[in-house]
Amino acid sequence: MDTGRSNARAFCARPVPFALVLVIRGTEGCERPREGSAVTIGVFDGVHLGHQLLIGEARRLAAELGARSTVVTFDKHPAQVVRPESAPKLLTDLEQRLELLAATGVECTLIIPFDDVRSKEPAEEFVADVLAGCLGSRAVIVGADFHFGHNRSGDVALLERMGRDLGFEVDGIQLIASSVSGAQPVSSTAIRAALDEGDLLAANRMLGRPHEMRGVVESGDQRARELGMRTANVRVPAFLQLPADGIYAGWYERADRSVHPSVISVGRRPTFYDETAERLIEAHLLDFEGDLYGETAKVRFTDVVRLGQIAFESMDALAEQMQRDAAAARVALGR
C-alpha cells in the first residue's frame, strides 16, 4: 500500500485509556510489536455484546500466546464511503467508540482511515500489509460471517488460507444470539432496529448498557421555560441513531462528570411544529437549576415513559403532561 492508503492512528492503552498515542503514517512506520498481536477487526459500532465477545477472545488468545491484544477499526463506517445514500445511522461516534473499546481492556486500537481508495483495496493486500506486516498477527478473531476488502471479497476462508502462509491462526466466531434479538445474532443493525421501534429494553440489553447520545447544548426557543420546565436542547450529529420519538427516563452527564436524573423528549414537538421540523433531544434535569448552554452533554436512555408524540390543544395541557412525564421518570429512576 502507498502512504496515502495506509495512514493510521494507533491508540494503545496500558492500562489507562489513551495513556500512549502513536501516530502511524504508512505501514513502513508501523512499529510491529515484537511479541506479535492477537487481532480482531471491524467497525465495532456500539461496541455491543457481540463485539465484546470478539474482543474478549482476542484478549484471551493474546494472553495465551504472549501477544498484544489489538482491535483494528476504521475512522468511519465503510458504507459512508461506498454507499453514502443508504449508510446506516451510527450508535456511537469515533470518540465514544474509542472509549468503549478501551474499557474492554484491549491493549491497542489501530484506526485506519477509510476512503474511496481504501474501499478498492484488495482483501489480500489488507491482510499482507496490515495484519501480517504492521501488526505481526499471530491470531485473527472475527465473526463467522465477516467480510472485508474490495467488493467484500475477503472472508474467513481467505484469512485461513493466507494465515497458513503468513503465520497466524484464525478463529471465526459465531456471534451470540439473544432472547431480545430472537434467533438473530446481536448486531448493530438489530440494535438500530430496536431503537427505531421504541424497544429500548432490547437495544440496551444488546448493548450491555444504556444507549447514549452525545452533543452540545444549544439555546432553544425558550418554550419549555414558559411551561415552567427548563430543558437542555442537545444537538447531536445527524449521522447518529436517535431513539424513536417519545418520552424517556434517563441520566444526563455534564462536562464536569456530574450525573443527573432526567426526563428526556425525542421528537419534533408537534404542538408547535409540523413534520418538517428537526428531531431534537430535550432533557429536563430533575431537581437541578443552572446554566447548561454550550457544554457537551451525555444523555443515557434507560426507560420508556411513553412512545410517540402528541399535539396538545393548549399550553396548559402540555404543561400538565410534562409534569406527569417527570413524575413517571422519577418512579422509573427510583428518585
CB neighbours (10 Å) of residue 254? 18
Measured CA to CA, the distance from residue 186 to residue 161 in angstroms comes to 28
Residue 335: what residue type?
A: R
pTM given for the model: 0.88
- Per-residue pLDDT reduced to its tens digit, 223-236: 555 556 788 999 99
Burial of residue 14 (CB within 10 Å: 0-12, 13-18, 19+) is exposed
Residue 292 CA, chain-centre distance (Å), reads: 25
What pLDDT score was predicted for residue 312? 81
Predicted pLDDT at 16: 37
Q: 233 in helix, strand or coil?
A: strand
Region of 61 please: left (phi>0), alpha (psi -120 to 50) or beta. Answer: alpha
Q: What is the mean pLDDT of residues 65-92?
A: 94
> Distances in Å between the alpha carbon of 91 and those of 85, 127, 150, 222?
18, 27, 25, 29
Contact (Cβ atoms closer than 8 angstroms) between residue 195 and residue 240: no
> What percent of the chain clears pLDDT 90, i.e. is strictly above it?
66
Helices (H), the chain: 3-6, 49-65, 79-82, 94-103, 116-119, 123-126, 156-166, 188-196, 200-207, 223-226, 315-333
pLDDT digit string, tens, across residues 109-132: 898 888 899 899 999 999 999 999
Is the CB of residue 32 less than 8 Å from the CB of residue 136?
Answer: yes
| Homologous superfamily assigned to 3-173 | HUPs (3.40.50.620)
Tell me which of 7-21, 156-170, 287-301 is least confident. Answer: 7-21
Contacts of 291 (CB under 8 A, 6+ apart): none
Block residue for cell numbers 494507533: 10
Helix, strand, or coil here: 74? strand
| Predicted pLDDT at 71 | 93
Cβ-based neighbours of 296, under 8 Å, separated by 6 or more: 214, 215, 216, 217, 255
Which grid coordinates are listed for 302?
434507560
Place of cell 474492554: 104
Q: Is 266 helix (H, G, I), strand (E, B) or coil?
A: strand
Alpha-carbon distance of 159 to 128, in angstroms, equals 10
Say what the pLDDT of residue 28 is: 54
Where are the domains positioned within the chain? 3-173, 211-333
In which residue are the cell numbers 489488507 written? 126
In CATH, 211-333 is 2.40.30.30: yes
d(CA 247, CA 280): 12
Taking alpha carbons only, the member of 275, 225, 222, 232 closest to residue 253 is 232
